[in-house]
Structure 1
Amino acid sequence: MIVECTPEGGVRLAEPFDFRNFKLVLKGTTGVRPASIESITFVDDRNALVPIDLVPALPGRPDDAAWEAAYADMIEQARRHGWIDANANAIRAHVERK
């Protein structure tokens, strides 16, 4: 699953059925390290915290119960691996620039 951010400020969900990978992709001339995009917090140049509730609200998200259940399972798996920041209610994402 990819949260894509464009230079124009658009944020969308790509590859929404890939529940084994989660990353934030900054496309084009999006800043080297933006302070915040759609409430996404940058931990450092390679990691960001994406609010758990943001992902289901993004364009590109399938609108069905099976997706919702699989997303909830992905969050629980991430929690078990320590990839959830409980204080921020966010999942840690690797940042890629394209």
Structure 2
Amino acid sequence: MNNEYEHPNFYKSAMGVVYEKNPKITYPHLYRVFLLDSHNTSWFWIREDGTCYWQHSRKNLDDDIFEDADQLQMDLFGKPILTKEFIMKAIL
């Protein structure tokens, strides 16, 4: 095995681990905020890789609930079709 690893975007440490030189920081995109009632709020996020997830906050809970948005129906142009019933089913 060759100890000298040459690639413009990666480097190899002395321990043999390959690291990316300048990794791109990725952020999710906030698609929509849902005010379900006076005590429940949901945020729908889309990651750069195209996967989606919910962030749900309740007034009486200290921590937010994070849930992957599986079985989500997408329309022809890639935007999700979201109804209040779908949201409540996903977070409850």
User: After TM superposition, is the score higher than 0.5?
Assistant: no
Greater fraction of residues in helix: 1
TM-score under structure 1 length normalisation:
0.24
More RCO (CA 8 Å, sep 6+): 1
TM-score under structure 2 length normalisation:
0.25
